[in-house]
Chain A
Amino acid sequence: MRNLKKGQTLGRMTARILAAVALGGALAACSNVEPFDYTAIHEIPDGHGLFSGSDGEFDLYSSD
């Protein structure tokens, strides 16, 4: 009984995730989505650095 409930719950959860992504896709197709770059939780965040300032990184070398 427990496994049956769990399986049902799993199915619903997975379906919701897929539905959400599909909804996102539909929204992207039907509206003016403005993409942004998402920075993952583990990564060094964007923005100001204590020593590097507004660039957030030390420019060791740039040919620009």
Chain B
Amino acid sequence: MTTQNRYFWDARLPLTATFPAASAVLAILMSGAPAMAGHDGDGADDSVLSGASNVHLSLSGQVNRGVLFVDDGNQTEILHVDNDNSSTRFRMIGSADYNEDISIGSVIEVQFESNSTANINIDGTTTGGNNSFTERKLELYFDHKRFGRLWLGQGDTASNGSSEVDLSGTGVIGYSGVTDMAGGIEFQDAGVAGPNIGSVLSNFDGLSRDDRIRYDTPKFGGFQLSVSQADSRKSDVAARFSGDIGAGLKVAAAVAYAVNGDVDSQINGSLSVRHSSGFNVTGAAGVRDLQVGAVNSTRDPFFWYVKVGYIWGGGIGNTAFAIDYIQADEVDSGSVEDEATSYGAFVVQAVDKIGTELYLGARQYQLDRVGFNFDDITAVMAGARVKF
């Protein structure tokens, strides 16, 4: 290996002393390295080396922790949580150029959520068992500058994120995925627990992440088409746009069509527009067509969502404010005439110099179900996301 290569090992920051997890990761990497030396006092060069050229390997991650106050009408509780809007995780991204047009890459991204806001209930126990590493992305890709990118492995399906396009700057605490804030909290009817928030509200965000094969076209004027096929005959197609269209307007949008199990078809999308003044508006909507034979297949699940916000730029970083509202009907298979709603207010303060966002948000959740009188649920969360 030539001496012009740059090595993480030569950095002044002792990362391995700061992050034990990083040490483990790097130890694994080093075990497979073609050559290795080190600054271990023996005078030899201790760098991780590769026999290949035009390659790049990086490590990044974040910690996102908060304090969640919940009131389900029957009791109140303070919970210490991992914010599932954007969970605590780390990732490694590698890429190598085959020639001028073709590159190959890999992504390994895992999360570790202790008390995930999506699963924790008011007693402080999690239903999802997320107090361990869980997969997010374990994938590789082949990229051609003119023909697009082919993905293989566990990762985003084509439609994932298509209901969640959001330029408000408040997504870390509030967006169309309203169940990420307190999804495990159960509605109460005279002290008797009913369904939890996560089972009655949804933003129909495509097919999430899965083991799949996916193809993305190159971007044309900000447009991109994607298609993927996952296990269990799940398949989807999506179109995306992100561009500055002039007049100070930045626009991002997505629309998707998916087929999945009991869902004959699902159409969903989202659109977000931000003006250079800081004002922004975001909307999303989706509808599912259930298969005959699905549980309560006469249901007609749908949702719609709207958010209005303002971003003030200056000082230590952007300050973003937003309010939102969502309605989702007949999502839970246990009932045929549910109407669930939620509204919220959020503020996020970015501190650019230290890669940190401080946030505060509040949500009210409501569920109307025939034959029940569920109390509203209030959730308030404050916390910080630190990108390391």
Find chain A residues with CB under 8 A from B5 CB. Answer: 61-63
Q: Which chain B residue shows the least CB distance to A30?
A: B245
- A34 and B26 CA atoms in complex are apart in Å by 39
Say yes or no: is B241 at the interface (Cβ < 8 Å to chain A).
yes
Q: Is the CB of B242 within 8 A of A50?
A: no
Tell whether, in the assembled complex, residue B52 and residue A63 are in contact, meaning their CB atoms are under 8 Å apart. yes
Whether the Cβ atoms of A13 and B285 lie closer than 8 Å is yes
Q: Determine chain B's interface SS by DSSP, over half rule.
A: strand
Taking residues whose C-beta sits less than 8 angstroms from the other chain, chain B's interface range is 35 or more
Given A6-B302, A21-B269, A44-B387; A35-B219 close (CB under 8 Å): yes
Report yes or no: B55 in contact with A60, Cβ–Cβ below 8 A. no
Contact code string B295-308 (vs A, CB < 8 Å = 1, else 0): 00000101010000
Contact assessment for B241 and A13 in the assembled complex, using a CB-CB cutoff below 8 Å = no
Enumerate chain B residues within 8 angstroms of A18, measured Cβ to Cβ. 255, 269
**Cβ of A5 to closest chain B Cβ, rounded Å:** 11
Give the residues from 14 to 40 in chain A that come closer than 8 angstroms, CB to CB, to chain B: 14, 16-18, 20-21, 24-25, 27-29, 31-38, 40
Closest 6 CB pairs of A and B: A35-B222, A41-B171, A57-B60, A38-B242, A13-B285, A17-B269
Sample of 19 further A-B pairs with CB below 8 A, known A16-B285, A59-B56, A60-B26: A10-B300, A18-B255, A24-B241, A28-B223, A33-B221, A38-B252, A40-B164, A44-B62, A48-B353, A48-B355, A49-B60, A49-B387, A51-B15, A56-B355, A58-B59, A59-B6, A61-B48, A62-B6, A63-B53
